[in-house]
Amino acid sequence: MIATEVPKKNKSSFEKLVKVIRQRNYKKATEYTYLRYNLDFLLFADKPAEKVVTKDIEKYIEYLRKKKVSSSTIQINISSLKMFFEEVLDMNVFEDFRRPAREYKTPKVLNQKEISLLLETASESPRSHLLCALAYYAGLRVGEIIRLKWGQFDLSKKTIKVDSPIPTQNRTVLMDGELQKILKKFEKEVGTEKSSYLFPGKYQGTHLTSRNVERLVGDLAKYAGIKAQVTLFTLRHSRAIHQLAEGKSLEDIREFLGHKSLATTESYLPIRKNLRPQVRQKHIQDALKEIKKKYKY
């Protein structure tokens, strides 16, 4: 659980939080995050949770900003604290709290040459090759890739039934010809069993962890001579941008990536946020023109 000792004045309220989290069956990583961030705040506030006021939350967020904590981490901190105080302790400390706007950074896009270099480097290992190919050619998320089982592939229809950790993102993806070749090569090496994971973990019945996969992809990028930090999301995002350059519509990309909302797909484009609708549409069209000019081949 958490190595740091919970202050005596907060033991009762913290035990309530632990109980609620356990009842909700969160993943271990999510459970740790909620507990860690709430405990960090309680240590900072140095008072019983029941006596916390909005000003304490604001001071803590300012403290995180001064420490140069990322915008996304601050947002997770706020969500964790909100759950604790509103849902566990039934307190209204967030009623007058102004949540800071989330800052978005346009993800790195690899060009076609960099993608080719990475896939060529990965091809020395059928497993590494398939991991990268599933992110690039099929646009799968890391969580979707590590949970893949052989039974989700229909080689006759050339499709993958994607079971996402988020049910609304479940979808069926057509397999690219290149991905089919890489999959068949991997299949010959490891054999298949419908109920087994493509990428089994260390222990029976488990799969590779996202951390191990991301470390592997990062190392492959370095070996390939790519200076930018590369993750599986970089490959997924790059494929989306390359498809836009080829003339695919934003709606096609939305379906390919499994986004529930078109606004999520639009957020991949290098455009400013919170613009008036007409101005936003012009920014989107300008961004698409730039993408076609830069990445079309």
Closest by Cα among 229, 231, 249 to 292: 249
Residue 276 confidence (pLDDT): 74
Yes or no: domain 8-89 corresponds to CATH 1.20.1630.10: no
d(CA 167, CA 24): 17
Q: What local confidence, expressed as pLDDT, does residue 256 receive?
A: 92
Residue 24's pLDDT is 84
**What is the identity of the amino acid at 272?**
R
Dihedral in degrees, nearest 10, Cα atoms 204, 208, 209, 214: 170
Cα dihedral sign, 145-158-111-224 = positive
What pTM was estimated for this model as a whole?
0.69
pLDDT of the chain, 297 residues: tens digit per residue: 566 788 899 999 999 999 998 888 877 888 899 999 999 999 999 999 999 999 999 999 999 999 988 888 898 999 999 999 999 999 999 988 888 766 656 678 999 999 999 999 999 999 999 999 999 999 999 999 999 999 999 989 999 999 876 777 789 999 999 999 999 999 887 766 767 899 988 888 889 998 899 999 999 999 999 988 899 999 999 999 999 999 999 999 999 999 888 888 887 887 766 667 777 788 888 888 888 888 876
* Beta pairing class for 159-162 and 153-154: antiparallel
Phi–psi pair at 108, nearest 5 degrees = -65, 140
Please state which CATH number belongs to domain 112-295.
1.10.443.10
How do the domains of the chain map onto residue ranges? 8-89, 112-295
What pLDDT sits at residue 102?
65
Instruction: Encode burial over 64-93: b for 16+ CB neighbours within 10 A, e otherwise.
Output: beeeeeeeeebeebbebbebbbeebeebeb
Q: Which of 182, 185, 171 is nearest to 133 (CA)?
A: 182
Q: What is the pLDDT, as a whole number, of residue 294?
A: 87
